[in-house]
Structure 1
């Protein structure tokens, strides 16, 4: 596999991950953070950081919209639920933040 093929496969896997997260609105960001140590917001920030490193103009809002599939405030209003005491306790135990 050459570098171009690897980049193509990585991009395809990223797009599939984003599509999966857009479909699974039942999975809250705090659940992702507690289980995997990253969430949709982390992914958005990594995407923006990659753009910044390459001198590509991309706002955090645009990066978030790309990951969430809609403006972030709209996603929060439609899908974000209040974190339970258990979720907050698990998060407070020291989930590494990306």
Structure 2
């Protein structure tokens, strides 16, 4: 049996275009994306669901962590430009993830 290659994703979740974003690293981006999309049932009023608006794939954890630090050190405008260069309408990219 062959071992599965490791996967690390640098992600950016957003709620609305050009508003606050969350940058991080995850090994299972699909699972994280599903948990972010569903607001807690006891929360009133229900918060807007977070959308996966940008991600990058890495096979080496240190590379993903370095990229996360780089993105967190950039200005908000640079982060917005990065998102909009690949996803100008801030669409939810969760559906593009493989099962």
TM-score by length of 2: 0.28
Whose helix proportion is higher, 1 or 2?
1
In our comparison, the structure showing a higher alpha carbon Rg is 1
